[in-house]
Amino acid sequence: MTTTLYRFTNDLRLTDNAALSQAASLSDKLICVYCVNPSWFRMGNYQSRPMGDHRWRFLYQSLRDLDRHLEALGQRLLVLYDKPETSLRRLCSALKVDLLLQSHPSCFDELTEWDRLEFPGVHKRLIWTHTLFTPDHLPFPLEQLPGHFTAFRKEVESLYVPDPLAPPGSLPPPPVTLPLSDWNQLPDASKGDSALSGGSEGAAERLEYYFSSRLPDSYKATRNALQGRDNSTGFSPWLANGALSPRQIAQALYQYETRHGASESSGWIYFELLWREYFHWYARKHGSQLFQFRGIKTQPPLTTFYPSRFRKWTQGATPSPLVNACMNELRETGWLSNRGRQLAASYLVNELGVDWRYGAAWFEQQLVDYDPAANWGNWQYIAGVGADPRGGRHFDIEWQREQYDPDDAYVKRWTSSQAAALPLDSVDCADWPVIHNADDGEAKDEENQRD
């Protein structure tokens, strides 16, 4: 009799879940668990929380959706509100677990957490589920991952993408003595934007809607637009928490191109999937460097941390109306276009001179589609400490406004009539920022940065 504890992480689906399928095939009894860590809701190192209201609402919906699908197979999702090491140790001991199995994470923090899950008599196994390819599919060992995306793309774009796995028709039952879930102890999930529906059902609806239209034929032309949900595929929230797999998207794209013919525009969707793929292998290769100030470079960037500048950026109160609109949309909805993310990041790093990690952490808190590999990899790219062969990206914000918001429709949509672009700061004789209309606390924060 083998009792397996399957820990769901960023794979909140039954379809195309190789790790769950393997857990089912190896087990007589199966425990399906998701751990909600209380630390997600506390302030972290960069004045932000790992989990904001928008993503938590979406994640909670996704967990409820997964629980319903498991229940249809005679299972249920055991949700635990505690540190994984504590709650899983207790559960493995109480239920005499033989095997702990989960999807293979990409990022250093998640792998470090996995390494701490060492319990007497419990074997462990990781299975890749979150990428198009597994390490065995790649035409190079991980340590030889190309340093830039273009070289990576040329090596992998012709590789065969395996078809998604069908959902299991049945699952082993849970132990009779399975404890109750901690649903009632979880933080309030009623806050946040309600435009999206979390879970595999919402993912399937979006996938069907998008590929039953002709939107893929205009994707390349519209993907840089600042607003309009159909200007992008819109898959990223479900892709981030694993309610949807990249192979499901690749298959739907292939079926679309079979029906309507391939085009440069539809092909760009796969191009973007490869960008995501690259950042996941990039994160796996570089480990803790993904989160370090100097990134994968030997020299750190020429930025620091100005608390007042950072606060004005987060609250949409900088001298740039376009950046303010981007930050207001992000804060109010948990969503921001790809173009908007690039502009906001470039402005924080290049115009405000703020440590890029504070921006990456703020995006982590706010984005409904936060993906650690893609988020931190893209911020490194902008800051010049990552995979950009040109050493970072510096966008001309006014040119971008003329190009992508010439009639100020986006700025007007996301700026209140009372709001005004404020001067950021001036400098004293030593070139240190002097904040206009700063209260004592802000002035003290800035002064402390000199020490």
447 lies in some domain: no
Q: How far apart are CA 268 and CA 154, in angstroms?
A: 14
**Quick one: tokens of 316?**
């949409």
Maximal CA-CA distance, the chain: 75
Percent of the chain residues past pLDDT 90, beyond the cut: 88
pLDDT mean across residues, the chain:
93
User: Global pTM?
Assistant: 0.92
Q: How confident is the model at residue 428 (pLDDT cuts 50, 70, 90)?
A: low
Cβ-based burial of 105 (10 A; exposed 0-12, middle 13-18, buried ≥19)? buried
Encode pLDDT of 202-233 as tens digits: 999 999 999 999 999 999 999 999 999 899 99
DSSP three-state, residue 107:
coil
* Arithmetic mean of pLDDT, 290-310: 94
Task: Give the pLDDT of residue 370.
Answer: 98
The annotation status of 200 as a binding-site residue, yes or no, is no
Number of domains in the chain: 3
Q: Are residues 91 and 138 in the same domain?
A: no
| 147 marked as part of a ligand binding site | no
327 domain-assigned = yes
Q: How far apart are the first and last CA of the chain?
A: 62
Residue 99 pairs with which residues in a beta bridge?
Answer: 4, 123
Task: Write the DSSP assignment of 282-327 as a string of letters.
Answer: HHHHHGGGGGSTTTTSSS--S-B--HHHHHHHHTT-SS-HHHHHHH
- Residue 192 forms part of a structural domain: no
The structure tokens listed for 359 are 């921006």
Closest CA to 397 of 363, 434, 356, 349: 349
Q: Is 314 annotated as a binding residue?
A: no
* Full residue range of the structural domain in which residue 402 is found: 307-414
The annotation status of 235 as a binding-site residue, yes or no, is: yes
In a domain, 323, yes or no: yes
Same domain, 65 and 204: no
Are residues 147 and 74 part of one domain?
A: no
Q: Do 354 and 381 fall within a single domain?
A: yes
- 214 found inside a domain: yes
14 and 82 share one domain: yes
Tell whether 152 and 282 lie within a shared domain.
yes
> β-strand 426-427 against 433-434: which pairing, if any?
antiparallel
Taking CA atoms, 278 is separated from 131, 204, 271, 273, in Å, by 9, 25, 11, 9
The residues pairing with 6 across neighbouring beta strands, listed in sequence order, are 32, 101
Does residue 241 fall inside a structural domain? yes
Q: Annotated binding residue at 233?
A: yes
| Residue 94 burial (CB count, 10 A) | 12
* Domain assignment of residue 183, yes or no: no
User: Which letter does DSSP use for residue 6 in this model?
Assistant: E
The pLDDT value given to residue 238: 99
Annotated binding residue 347? no
pLDDT tier at 3, thresholds 50, 70, 90:
very high
417 is in an annotated binding site: no
Q: In terms of pLDDT, which residue wins out, 446 or 255? A: 255
Domain boundary, last residue among 286, 317, 334:
286
Spatial contact of 362 and 345, defined as CB atoms under 8 Å apart: no
| Contact by Cβ (8 Å): 369, 242 | no
Query: Partners of 36 in the beta sheet?
Result: 81
Is the pLDDT score of 74 beyond 60?
Answer: yes
Q: What DSSP state is assigned to residue 77?
A: E
Instruction: For residue 264, give both structure tokens.
Output: 């440069």
Confidence of residue 418 (pLDDT cuts 50, 70, 90): low
If asked whether residues 281 and 329 sit together in one domain, one would say no
Residues 278 and 323 in one domain: no
Please tell me the predicted confidence (pLDDT) of residue 434: 60
Tokens representing 249 are 């998207």
Does 185 map to a domain? no
**Rounded distance, CA 407 to CA 294, Å?**
39
Of the candidates 53, 382, 318, 297, which has an alpha carbon nearest to the alpha carbon of residue 193?
53
Q: What is the C-alpha separation between 447 and 451, in angstroms, rounded?
A: 8
